[in-house]
A and B are shown apart, each in its own frame.
Chain A
Amino acid sequence: MRLGLTPAFLVKIVSSVVLIPARSVHKSELVKMKLLTHNMLTSKSMKGVTVGYPLGINVVDIKVTEVDFNPEFISRIIPKLDWSVLWKAADTIGQLDDLPKELSQEYENDNDFLKKVHHVLLEVDIVNGELVCPETGRKFPINNGIPNMLLNEDEV
């Protein structure tokens, strides 16, 4: 039921509250913006933008959290990545460690390497900052880990 057509329904939906007992232990914290996400975003849907990739990153603050390491999972993500974009992003936010600039051939069996990729992809979070369209300079703010990619009507 989502008939928001009548005012009565509207009031009901807007005012209803679901009370859930608070959990005493939280295993995780609010998810912020991952470099994996940055690797997947473009601004090419903007008017006048041809490639719009990669987006620039301006960081206000980042957070590092420990995430369980699964080498098989990381090996599956790597072919979907633009490696040079990930490397540059990690460099930009000072989390490069000694991640190699070139992707090694047999990374599936290189646990140390996969662990570094895991760290950069899933453990480093951008909390506040902005993403920047490389062609127009349009800034997309990231507040508390949520990038705001909405465009104005005159931008599409």
Chain B
Amino acid sequence: MKSLLLAATLGCMTCLAHAAQPANPTPPAVAAKVALRGEPYGVRVAEMRIVRKNDILTVQADLENTVRANRTVFYRFRWLDDMGNQVGDGESWKQMGLYGLQLQTVKSVAPNSSATDLKLEMNVEQK
């Protein structure tokens, strides 16, 4: 009986771990630019493309929901200069719904040409 309970508990914990971590997590190079608060609940940043257009840094990030349940993502980009200081006043937080197994691209443009780096701040809600 005890071993059965232990097995069930371990099984649940494995399920929770799978729900929290996508099977194919955010690639390390992209993860270095992501500041994730809390659990990803199956959402990963599949790709991030950073391009300087007309002397202004622009970014596109592909957010992928790897599970079948819908997810709500809150995100914003934080722009940094070459000293690591924040550029501008900071973006507003945005809410975005991600359907099950959906990939959605979010984009942003730096507020001025002094931005040389960025961080994607995000957290994921299960509902």
Query: Is B a genuine binding partner of A?
Result: no
